[in-house]
Amino acid sequence: MRTSLKDIAEKLKLSKATISWTLSGKGDEKGISLATQEKVFQCAKELNYQPNLLARSLHRGYSKTIGLIIPDITDSFYSKIACVIEKEADEQGYSVMIGNSESKIEKENKLIRLFKAKQVDGIILAPTKVSKSEIETLVDESFPLVLFDRYFPQIDTNYVIIDNEESSYQLVRKMIVDGARKIAIITTNSYLRTMNMRREGYARALMEMDFPVEPELYGEVPFVDYEHNIDKTLDTIFHDVPDVDGFFFSTHILAIEAFRYFYDKGIDLKKYELACIHSIPSFRALAPKINIAFMPIDEIGENAVRILLKSIESHQEQSKEKKKVETVVLHCKISTL
């Protein structure tokens, strides 16, 4: 059983207040003798007393804990960012509670409510496709919040994202310079602004290089069960545009599934120009010479924590002034594996 202040007080026949003041470093201030303080510390050590940090923090008005909600903890992109966030938070004296929404709106909403019930000081969130209502509630309550990777332009809140449109533009432009003429885009219909921006970058690169944006080269994979639906999407593109010579993948998850399709069909990847937003280590073996927009993972995590802690500090000051939101748009490094 966990040792309590009451246990120490009963053993030493002292008041609970005396024990509390001593262990919290207020013994001298409260006029407690050094001999008594020494007895208290010695008894606490013998009984292996561990302070209830949560109760102590809540008494002060904060928990020194932040909530992190990500859509897929098995995705290396999100797991790496989670590691960065945990490290940055720890250096500032904060613990991190991590929740995996599985890209399900119901679970995300449940996690938001759970974290608030657990008295977290703020939340860092990569939202699902239609989760605006809960986020709007947090914003209306001035609850410290930072979105990352995904955001909603119509909601006035902090966020950290990459320059999705520019990254896509640079990738597709490079594919054209390298000789591709019929470039298909493989994306998802998640209705996230992030995906829309990547589609816009793809289209801008084609138009600026005097190539038409052909509907037949647009492959939209349903967000749900995309592992199976991507086969149908690629079958259609190869049927409708047999001379396709390049593929731009809006996410690394789609790229992985496409590579599986290519290998299953015996298609030689070296025949095509390839590009993708973000990379994973296996790309070097699966798709040599693929063009990548490398996500600045460390910067995303570091900025998310910095902005959230700043928001928490402002929230604790209980200022009546309208909180200014901070938005960060980071650039990706474009390179070929």
Task: Please say if the pLDDT value at position 55 is more than 70.
Answer: no
Say if residue 142 is in the same domain as residue 207: no
Residue 268 lies in a domain: yes
Say if residue 25 is in the same domain as residue 172: no
Quick: pLDDT tens for 269-279.
Answer: 999 999 999 98
Quick: pLDDT tens for 111-128.
Answer: 999 999 888 999 999 998
Q: What is the CATH number of the domain that holds 223?
A: 3.40.50.2300
Cross-strand partners of 276? 249, 292
Cα–Cα distance measured from residue 46 to residue 38, given in angstroms and rounded to the nearest whole number: 12
Quick: pLDDT tens for 171-218.
Answer: 999 999 999 999 999 998 767 789 999 999 999 999 999 999 999 999
Q: What is the pLDDT of residue 312?
A: 92
* Segment 88-102 mean pLDDT: 95
Q: Helical H runs in the chain?
A: 5-12, 16-23, 34-46, 53-60, 76-91, 105-117, 132-140, 164-177, 193-208, 226-240, 252-265, 283-286, 297-316
* Segment 136-150 mean pLDDT: 92
Cα–Cα distance measured from residue 277 to residue 198, given in angstroms and rounded to the nearest whole number: 9
DSSP assignment of 207-252: HHTT----GGGEEEE-STTHHHHHHHHHHHHHHH-TT--EEEESSH
Task: Please say if the pLDDT value at position 59 is more than 90.
Answer: no
Domain of 312, in residue numbers = 65-162+298-330
Q: What is the CATH number of the domain that holds 26?
A: 1.10.260
pLDDT band, residue 280 (cuts 50/70/90): confident
Nearest-CA neighbor of 88 among 295, 299, 294, 317?
A: 299
Residue 277 in contact with residue 335, Cβ under 8 Å?
Answer: no
Residue 56 lies in a domain: no
Say if residue 289 is in the same domain as residue 302: no
Q: What is the pLDDT of residue 284?
A: 81
Residue 230 lies in a domain: yes
Say if residue 187 is in the same domain as residue 263: yes
